[in-house]
Structure 1
Amino acid sequence: MNYYTRHSPRQAVIADDGREQPVTTFDPDGKPRGVVLVVPAMATRSSFYTPFATHLAERGWRAVTFDYRGMRTRAEMKVETADVDRWFGDVRAILDAVADDADDLPVTLVGHSLGGQLVPFIDHTRLASVITVAAGDGHWRRNQPGVRWIAPVLWSVVAPVAIRLAGYYPGGRLRILGDLPGNAMRQWARWCLHPEYLQVDHPEAPSLFAEVKAPMMSLSFTDDELMSAESTKHLHDWYTNAEMIRQRFSPEQLDGRRMGHHGFFRAQNADLWDELVEPWLAG
């Protein structure tokens, strides 16, 4: 099936503060089977998901990608004041626009890492299903052993100094995570230092997670260098009223392929998209 990429039905979504948030839509050649909103991981640009969105369009789904505000260039990051909560508000507006334009087609959210954490903070009643990939809570004590004892130094020392010197968090240069606007990194650091993660800013979070009732599938990997089995379980246990299927794979179960935190969305794993994602898409 042929597909084309377009900036319609909308070139941009207007957030609740009037800011334009560009979106990219990948449409199939013909009527879509359903709509998939791809919500990025922290410090990951939308272009990373282009192979995945293209693949979905070739198989009949409309796929929509976007960048969190301030993420497109380093120049943007230096002047961006948004924190993670502001990003959540933007995703709420984007989902509303995508659902409004869906012509009654079912909408699936595919949330990578942070994208699987924000579901309670958007209008999840508009979702027919949710797929989380490599999503867990970020408290440092539940990180994988390889980063567990480095993380507190990153959050408490490295990140604040780097932001002060560079005007943004230069994760690409430091080879620790990726580039981020300063306020987003500061808030995320505060969450990762707290035993209940985002509840440090959102004490209402347990009740919000409990309100999510869309069917969910959690996809995680034993070789994820960031998210441990404990962190993945901890996050998804908050979704107390969602019908949940949890799948966790080792490299041995995937023909020796390494997934890590980002590998699932790389083009060489397209066969796994058919096997592990497509059955859970609404449409």
Structure 2
Amino acid sequence: MSARAATPSSTRPPLRGEERSVRRSWRQPNEPRNHAGRPRRRRLPAGRPPLPAAGHGQGCRPAGFGHGGAAKFLCPAGALAGRPGWAALSFDYRGMGDSRRGPLKALDVDLIGWAQRDCAALVEAARLQAPGKPLLWIGHSLGGQLPGLTPNIGRVDRIVTVAAGSGYWLENAWPLKRRAWLFWFVFAPILTPLFGYFPGKRLGMVGDLPAGVMRQWRRWCLHRDYAVGVEGQAVAQGFAAVRAPVLALGIEDDEMMSRRNTESLHGLYRGAAVALRRVAPAEHGLARIGHFGFFRKEHATTLWPRLIGPELAALEAEAPKPVESPAEAATSALP
């Protein structure tokens, strides 16, 4: 359900470009699409009460190294099933899935741009559509890294990361590490300048990625200290500035992120209360979860309510946040 009715449209401040893009990506799981491939927008019936909003930071990746793909793979709306009053906002980064407009080689964006523009727009759109309501960030893989780079992350009340780690290649889980050298030292540096973007889809590796994203991601993954080691103190301070409690769900049979990757990434959130939890398939009666399995529909009655449900309950029990006036909202939008 959309939280569009949370504030009267006549009193909402005008949206910036990134916010309008996120609004177009507001959707429900399995929602019908129009002929252009973009999700159709739904409206709440008149008089519907405001809804809290929940969002995630990563349009999920169905194959490969975890950056290319579409938000429909990871839709936290499913994780909210059975909890009335919650709404979900999912999105694709610019250049990915439903946010792709034109050739990737013409797109000038990197990972920091995805965080500062697209993730920030997601947070702002959720805040405007459900003012005064709690906001939960559910981030898979890269979506667990970008909160530290998102300028308005202070508006988020809690963060859940799933299968998220630093990405440093020598600490990757063995199934990935044994072939990562070929990806980082052969395919990425040769094919990206050759095509003007990384053509991962045709290689079955990671999905197509903008050149700026691939170049920056490669630099991060080759450095022991990942993004902080490459970008310096500004990024370190961004991670340290996160104050929302963080629940990090590491998947025991993750074929990409090792325990060390997970610990390394979440050690950057020095200003937040971080709870690291390992999720073993056998403990939930499952044969396998893996890097991409957590949000599959078959886990709707097992993993989702057991592991994400308590975070929703904690937010529901907290005192309501004050609602900003239209003037305050207009002056405190995206940085």
TM bin (shorter chain): 0.7 to 0.9
- For residues 153-192 of structure 1, the C-alpha deviation after alignment (integer angstroms, 9 at most, x for no partner) is 3122201222234332222221222221221111101110
**1:46 paired residue among 65, 71, 87:** 71
Where do 1:1-283 residues align within 5 Å? 3=1, 14-15=16-17, 20-21=21-22, 22-26=24-28, 31=49, 34-40=52-58, 41=60, 42-50=67-75, 52-54=76-78, 56=80, 59-60=83-84, 61-72=86-97, 73=100, 75-90=102-117, 91-122=119-150, 123-199=152-228, 200-271=230-301, 272-281=303-312, 282-283=315-316
Task: For residue 115 of structure 1, report the CA deviation from its aligned partner.
Answer: 0.9
- For residues 45-70 of structure 1, the C-alpha deviation after alignment (integer angstroms, 9 at most, x for no partner) is 111124x4145265221100111001
Equivalences, count:
278
TM-score normalized with structure 1 length: 0.87
Task: For residue 13 of structure 1, report the CA deviation from its aligned partner.
Answer: 6.0
- Structure 1, 96-105 or 136-145: larger mean CA deviation: 96-105
Task: For residue 32 of structure 1, report the CA deviation from its aligned partner.
Answer: 5.5
Q: How far apart, CA to CA, are the structure 1 residues paired with 2:125 and 2:284?
A: 36
Change (3 A) 1:211 1:5: closer
Q: Which has the larger radius of gyration?
A: 2
Change (3 A) 1:128 1:192: same
TM-score normalized with structure 2 length: 0.74
Percent of pairs with identical residues: 36
Change (3 A) 1:49 1:208: same
1:109 counterpart SS class? strand
Q: How far apart, CA to CA, are the structure 2 residues paired with 1:116 and 1:81?
A: 23
2:161 counterpart SS class? strand
Whether the aligned pair in 2 keeps the contact of 1:92 and 1:121 (CA below 8 Å) is: no
Task: For residue 88 of structure 1, report the CA deviation from its aligned partner.
Answer: 0.8
- Structure 1, 176-185 or 60-69: larger mean CA deviation: 176-185
**Structure 1: 5+ residue runs without aligned partners?**
none
Q: How far apart, CA to CA, are the structure 2 residues paired with 1:171 and 1:135?
A: 21
Whether the aligned pair in 1 keeps the contact of 2:250 and 2:278 (CA below 8 Å) is: yes
**Structure 2: 5+ residue runs without aligned partners?**
29-41, 61-66, 317-335
CA RMSD, aligned part only? 2.8
Task: For residue 25 of structure 1, report the CA deviation from its aligned partner.
Answer: 4.2
Q: How far apart, CA to CA, are the structure 1 residues paired with 2:298 and 2:2?
A: 21
Q: How far apart, CA to CA, are the structure 2 residues paired with 1:262 and 1:139?
A: 19
1:81 counterpart SS class? coil
Change (3 A) 1:32 1:133: farther
